[in-house]
Structure 1
Amino acid sequence: MALTYFAKLQPSGVDEAIEEDEKLSQATKELLLSLPREKGWRTPYVYLFQGFWCQPHEIQAIITFQKHFQAKDSDVLVATVPKSGTTWLKALTFATVNRHHFSSFTKNHPLLTFNPHDLVPFFEYTVYAQNDDKVPDLSDMHEPRIFGTHVPFASLPSSIKEANCKVIYICRNPFDTFLSSWIFIKKIKPGSLPALQLEEAFEMYCRGVIGFGPFWTHMLGYWKESIERPNKVLFLMYEDLKEDVTLQLKRVAEFLDCPFTLEEESSGVIDDIIKLCSFEKMKELEINKYGTFARNFENKYLFRKGEVGDSVNYLSPSMAEKLTKVIKEKLDGSGLSFRINSTLVQVASDPR
């Protein structure tokens, strides 16, 4: 059943929590009345907004983002599906772009005292997360400005699409992305809402009902843009980054027009960045052990395992088979494929 048709069958209306939410404008509440909705993973409901599923506060912030953000040619945007390596890619990008501004990777580097999400702010969670359509002043931000987002490419502001700014996208295999999302939401979900069981969450995921999903639409949007405009969008695979982070980091630097010099390579600059941004290093930092993200959840929940193929320990063979079928159906003919732990499943056979 087509997603849009299925969504039309869902009940409309705004629940009491939305009605009483003072952080939502009246315009947002009225918009929510007109949108199809489904049970949410972290909130009572998610709403189908511009073709993807979103929480109420995210919708409000995205609208402000779309209306007011003016991109600069020097801007860098780190775009991801949630739980696909966002924190890691933000750290690597920030350290690479700003490597000439900080004399040491072991002392006084911002990544040692700030979470990557503080240094590379999300448009929808930080920059435009106001309740009154307030437009932030971004004029004093150090350039190049680096931002993060989970918003699909089609819904990015026109200024981003039209400017010469760069977009780096990281894609993780859907099996591990699902598992990481489910475990993460279980940890941060408000106690007033019952936790989603694995099977229920999996069924929702396969139907595309997850924050900023369907995941296949999100991935394909950036994938196709990276093929049509390779100088605009760099498409990375999480599994490739895990396998050879040095090679992928050099790709990032070249894409951002700040390639590593031979002198930097020989003096260990690349290795220093990789160590600084490693899962093991970031997980043990005080800010990531005890800090919080936008007063929303504890930073420690951003760091679990970071492994490839861990989903094999959670998904039954029938679940793996079903998700494989969904992936093949939705990505057929696109050229987008995934390398997954061989004990779980190998998806598609049309590598880029």
Structure 2
Amino acid sequence: MASMGGIQENEDEKLILSLPKEKPWAQPYDLYLFQNFWCPGIHIQAVNRFQKYFEAVKDSDVVVASFPKSGTIWIKALTFSIANHHRFPSLENHPLLTTNPHELVPFLEFSFGGNIQDQILHLSNMTEPRIFGTHTPFTSLPKSIKESNCKLVYICRDPFDNFVSAWNYFNKVKPMSLPALTMEEAFEKYCNGIMDYGPWWSHMLGYWNESIANPNKVLFLKYEDLKEDTNFHVKRIAEFLGCPFTQKEESSGVIQSIIKLCSFENMKDLEVNKSGKIGRGGIEKKDFFRKGEKGDWVNYFTPSMQEKLSAIVEEKLSGSGLSFKKCS
């Protein structure tokens, strides 16, 4: 008799073969149009299992959601530090000093590999609040998350900077055997929404619309706003998570300590983030840190690129209430 794992793998294989596909951004896998988003073929089984088996959601759970290359590592670090600021009042021995944010806030998509029962047991034994990450669009999240009282913190980024960050990143982590993706090729794909977990506009709008319909459930953040006034948004995240800072904590500099600990400069300079690999693909930790700036797109875009992407942003986000300030 075939094992449950074997049956599931056969079903996944049949499903993948039935889906439209596109070439990725200089990676050794294809992108498949799965549940109306471009899912890496190597992730479809993971997303399937996540949807199927993540049932025991706790009201204290926090899910940090993001479109790839939108400030994921920063928002993971901030959310972890804010949610645990009573647990780790002294930043001298803080977990972020010795552990990469992706390890402290693991991706839910990859939490159900191997033995399912072992993984479920592991998740149930995690210290609360359990904080997870996800790139999965809101519409494809498990019902258990949508229907529970757990909180979702979402971050997005101006599409101009998001594109530049993604192009640099995918070329940096590509296998040596594959050629680099030219900016022109990547831009064409981006404009058509073809990128891991894209289209970017539907990813953003899914969480944006839910944040309006259910503001106690989803906190929607923009990378640019977070950069502009980190102090304000750190307090906002804490209030949203139900663990606001006391007046005493504010006056004693707790917020500023968290901001400094999680800053791009500090995180990039920590030894734990300078060496070693992480994740299923074995990505160098240092490759998650490039510039951490806003407005860097002006160093890459031609006038015609700016005109084209501006028109797409206007068209796709029109009427939603979601907009981005021009960085130029």
Same fold (TM over 0.5): yes
Distance 1:25 1:193, change over 3 A: farther
Q: Which of 332, 340, 346 is equivalent to 2:318?
A: 332
Over the matched positions of the two proteins, sequence identity in percent amounts to 61
The runs of 5 or more residues in structure 1 that have no matched partner are 1-21, 343-352
In 1, Cα distance between the equivalents of 2:116 and 2:58? Answer: 21
In 1, Cα distance between the equivalents of 2:162 and 2:228? Answer: 17
Is the Cα contact below 8 Å between 1:44 and 1:193 reproduced in 2?
no
Q: Which of 65, 68, 80 is equivalent to 2:66?
A: 80
Structure 2 residue aligned with 1:14: none
Aligned to 1:47, the other structure's residue is in SS state strand
Structure 2 residue aligned with 1:9: none
Alignment of 1:248-267 (within 5 A): 248-267=233-252
Q: Write the letter of the residue equivalent to 1:85.
A: G
Is the Cα contact below 8 Å between 2:192 and 2:199 reproduced in 1?
yes
State how many pairs are aligned: 317
In 1, Cα distance between the equivalents of 2:149 and 2:117? Answer: 26
1:239 is the counterpart of 2:239? no
Alignment of 1:70-149 (within 5 A): 70=55, 71-105=57-91, 107-124=92-109, 126-128=110-112, 130=113, 136=119, 137=121, 138-149=123-134
Question: Root-mean-square deviation (CA), in Å?
Answer: 1.5
Aligned to 1:290, the other structure's residue is in SS state coil
Q: Which structure shows the bigger proportion of residues in helix conformation?
A: 2
Aligned to 1:234, the other structure's residue is in SS state strand
Is the Cα contact below 8 Å between 2:29 and 2:41 reproduced in 1?
no
Task: Give the TM-score, by structure 2 length.
Answer: 0.94
Structure 2 residue aligned with 1:197: 182
**Displacement of 1:123 after TM fit?**
1.1
Q: Which of 59, 63, 85 is equivalent to 2:48?
A: 63
Q: Which of 30, 37, 53 is equivalent to 2:38?
A: 53
**Displacement of 1:133 after TM fit?**
5.8
Aligned to 1:79, the other structure's residue is in SS state strand
Q: Which of 175, 184, 194 is equivalent to 2:160?
A: 175
Query: Deviation per CA, 1:196-238, whole angstroms, max 9, x where unpaired?
Result: 1100010000001000000000000000000000000000111
Alignment of 1:155-166 (within 5 A): 155-166=140-151
**Displacement of 1:132 after TM fit?**
6.7
Query: Deviation per CA, 1:77-107, whole angstroms, max 9, x where unpaired?
Result: 00000010110000000001111112411x2
Structure 1 residue aligned with 2:3: none
The runs of 5 or more residues in structure 2 that have no matched partner are 1-5
1:323 is the counterpart of 2:293? no
Query: Deviation per CA, 1:264-317, whole angstroms, max 9, x where unpaired?
Result: 000000001001101111001111000221262111011110101101111111
Structure 2 residue aligned with 1:216: 201
Q: Write the letter of the residue equivalent to 1:84.
A: S
In 1, Cα distance between the equivalents of 2:17 and 2:186? Answer: 25
In 1, Cα distance between the equivalents of 2:141 and 2:90? Answer: 35
Structure 2 residue aligned with 1:348: none
Distance 1:40 1:135, change over 3 A: farther
In 2, Cα distance between the equivalents of 1:68 and 1:45? Answer: 25
Structure 1 residue aligned with 2:136: 151
In 2, Cα distance between the equivalents of 1:285 and 1:303? Answer: 11
Q: Which has the bigger relative contact order, CA under 8 A and spacing at least 6?
A: 2
1:27 is the counterpart of 2:11? yes
Structure 1 residue aligned with 2:274: 289
**Displacement of 1:131 after TM fit?**
5.7
Aligned to 1:88, the other structure's residue is in SS state helix
Query: Deviation per CA, 1:120-160, whole angstroms, max 9, x where unpaired?
Result: 00012x312x2676661211100110000000000000000
Query: Deviation per CA, 1:36-94, whole angstroms, max 9, x where unpaired?
Result: 00011123410000000011121110000000102111100000000101100000000
Is the Cα contact below 8 Å between 1:25 and 1:131 reproduced in 2?
no
Q: Write the letter of the residue equivalent to 1:318.
A: S
Task: Give the TM-score, by structure 1 length.
Answer: 0.88
Is the Cα contact below 8 Å between 1:308 and 1:340 reproduced in 2?
no
Q: Which of 227, 243, 256 is equivalent to 2:212?
A: 227
Distance 1:33 1:133, change over 3 A: farther
Q: Write the letter of the residue equivalent to 2:90.
A: S
Query: Deviation per CA, 1:178-202, whole angstroms, max 9, x where unpaired?
Result: 1101100001111222221100010
